[in-house]
Amino acid sequence: MTIPGIGPVTAVALQAFAPPTESFRRGRDFSAWLGLVPRQHTTGGKPRLGGISKMGQRDLRRLLISGAMAVVGNAVRYDRNTDPWLAGMLARKPKKLVAVELANKVARRVWH
């Protein structure tokens, strides 16, 4: 099974630098360890989400975002066989923001 945006370099880096998946309860915890989840600023019971936290493993985060940028670039350039989720995100949000969200989604899929 191949995951879009994960090439040989990223796969080897994930094996080398990421802790075992058993050390995380769920995929969001792994994604948070990579620094790919939104930062929360909650006040008065109103949750506000900011940019990504950028905490954790910087090199793996960069590799995942680079792979996601390649997937987003191909989806924009060729516009065929695009995942409905990705097409919907590209219609609503900027490309780089979609790439970070896709990297978050890929990290959660890697955790499984």
What's the domain range around 70? 8-111
pLDDT, tens digit only, all 112 positions of the chain: 588 888 889 888 888 888 888 888 988 888 888 888 877 778 888 887 777 777 778 888 899 999 999 999 888 888 777 788 888 989 899 999 999 999 999 988 888 7
Interatomic CA distance for residues 98 and 112, integer angstroms: 22
In-domain check, residue 49: yes
* Count of domains observed in the chain: 1
How many whole angstroms from its chain centre is CA 32?
10
Interatomic CA distance for residues 35 and 96, integer angstroms: 16
pTM: 0.82
The phi and psi torsions of 43 (rounded to 5 degrees) equal: -145, 135
In-domain check, residue 83: yes
Interatomic CA distance for residues 31 and 26, integer angstroms: 9
In-domain check, residue 2: no
In-domain check, residue 3: no
> In this structure, are residues 10 and 70 in contact, taking their beta carbons and an 8 Å threshold?
no
In-domain check, residue 25: yes
Interatomic CA distance for residues 71 and 58, integer angstroms: 20
In-domain check, residue 55: yes
